[in-house]
Structure 1
Amino acid sequence: MMRLLGVLRHQPTDKWVRARVGDRIVVDSRAALLLWEPRRIVPTYAVPDKDVRAELVAVEPVPESDLPVLHPGIPFAVHSTPGQTYDVRVGDEVRERAAFRPDDVDLAGHVVLDFDAFDWTEEDEPLFSHPRDPFSRVDARRSSRHVRIERDGVLLAESRTPTLVFETKLHPRFYLPREDIKAEVLPSDMVTACPYKGRATYLSFAVGENLAWTYPDPLPDASPLAGLVAFFDEVVDVTVDGVPRTRPDTPVAKVMKDEFGVS
């Protein structure tokens, strides 16, 4: 799969896809494509022109990106393949640079839309963050491993009943029962969304902001994670069955350092 990361890829989906701005339908398609731009690690939707119910206004694109990987934090307006960028006009509202038409003969007559600019549904269920990748799985498994989580010598959590989450292309995460949190939890107003698990709220501690997260009301496929707490292994010390684990080197580590001063 990683050998294909630098390739413009697309495949059809049988899902009924719609996008809205408020109560107004912007896209209504039963012939959408899942599309991966080169080096972009999550997909978005390309839909036939006839399924778009908004005005597309051609604008100057931002320069093409030469970043090695376009992770979800890189805006949609940054592209890695040639094409035409558009503003999307819906009545009196304008979503700037929210549409893109790649210069690819196989995608003629299709336009790609910014997932973050609209509210999306597959069939009648809302989507979060980006379309689900059909080549990704999220498997939650109850375990009896002994997990300790510390930072700067402070014990944050310890559990013998963790749930391990194995997600395609990512390292395992350890989700622990809330009662196994040993340190005082401080308030946080941070919220993020995952297309597979739902909306997450965050937990801070005296030794660092937003070190952990929980899904109070996860999506049905992630129901075993309801109320459990996971920590960013990138910035805490995890010991499993007495063996310390190496902190993974991921883009999350840079985000935690740049945004919250945690490393």
Structure 2
Amino acid sequence: MSTRMGDLWAAGLGLLRYEPTEMRLRASAGGRELVDTVQAVLVWEPRRVVASYAVPVAELRAELAESSVEAVPAPDGILHPGIPFLAHSCPGQVVDVAGLAGTGFRPDDPELAEYVVLDFGAIDEWYEEDEPLVSHPREPYHRVAVRPSSRTVRLELDGVLLAESSRPTLVFETNLPTRFYLPREDVVAELLPSERRSACAYKGHARYYSVVGSKDLIWSYPEPLKEVRELAGLLAFYDDVLDVYVDGKLREPPTGPIAESLRQEFGI
């Protein structure tokens, strides 16, 4: 009997997982180099969908100390990137790294006994080889495919047309719904500036726009990372909360915990 690959991925979410990498990893904070190693591993705590880097304690160029900071209970369900590092979902010890409170974690696991997991957001600069990292570590099983298309895409909010294009760019990203990126000229809704900003490890830094009746509904990558440079200036929508027609056919809305959390955020 065959098994869908996505189901295998989901079945492993409840496990503490790791994957070694041969990339040279460097990290620094406050102008001080903390890490320079080729023996790092990517670690996914149970239910976390984004990995953290762990490095051998013997190669860490900083002091470790017991921390007065305690882990916080991890919420139920999927632990997305917005869940703080201190919400640990497996047994282990919270430690201070180079005086930075609670920025290290040592899981109670024999395979990772000689490693310390580091809080990506607490450290100023990260490099894989000579490439700076954005937002969080990349993982070898995550793929972003950008494809130009001639399909017609129409986006509506409560029956009001927001955009229609026969030259969309489709983004197929591992474990995420397909996203439709459209030229600005094909968006008929008035774009209202937003102060919201976000970062993606695979696409770069995004800025947002609102429309009447829906805040922060649209985003764009003005200067995307080189792997997805085709996205520069295009506009994408949280179609989780919209009616999306592809070649005239209404598309089923995305499902899963991310889509559900977005619908709650938008009050739908």
Report TM bin, short chain. over 0.9
CA drift of 1:252 comes to 4.7
TM-score by length of 2: 0.90
SS at match of 1:187: strand
Describe the shift of the 1:200–1:212 C-alpha distance in structure 2 as closer, same or farther (beyond 3 A): same
Runs of at least 5 residues in structure 1 that lack an aligned partner in the other structure: none
The equivalent of 1:34 in structure 2 is 42
- Checking the alignment, whether the CA contact within 8 Å between 2:16 and 2:43 is kept in structure 1 is yes
Report % sequence identity. 52
For 1:1-263, list aligned pairs within 5 A: 1-59=9-67, 60-65=69-74, 67-89=76-98, 94-118=99-123, 119-249=125-255, 250-255=257-262, 257-258=264-265, 261-263=266-268
Runs of at least 5 residues in structure 2 that lack an aligned partner in the other structure: 1-8
Letter aligned with residue 60 of structure 2: V
- Checking the alignment, whether the CA contact within 8 Å between 2:241 and 2:262 is kept in structure 1 is no
- How far apart in 1 are the matches of 2:13 and 2:240? 24
Structure 1 runs of 4+ aligned residues shifted over 6 Å read none
TM-score by length of 1: 0.92
CA drift of 1:96 comes to 2.4
- How far apart in 1 are the matches of 2:183 and 2:72? 46
CA drift of 1:51 comes to 2.3
- How far apart in 1 are the matches of 2:211 and 2:19? 44
Describe the shift of the 1:12–1:231 C-alpha distance in structure 2 as closer, same or farther (beyond 3 A): same
- Checking the alignment, whether the CA contact within 8 Å between 1:213 and 1:231 is kept in structure 2 is yes
**TM-superposition CA deviations, 1:193-216 (whole Å, max 9, x none):** 111111111111112111011111
CA drift of 1:66 comes to 5.7
- How far apart in 1 are the matches of 2:60 and 2:44? 20
- How far apart in 1 are the matches of 2:263 and 2:210? 12
Letter aligned with residue 130 of structure 1: H
**TM-superposition CA deviations, 1:15-56 (whole Å, max 9, x none):** 111111132112211110111111111111110112222222
- How far apart in 2 are the matches of 1:21 and 1:200? 24
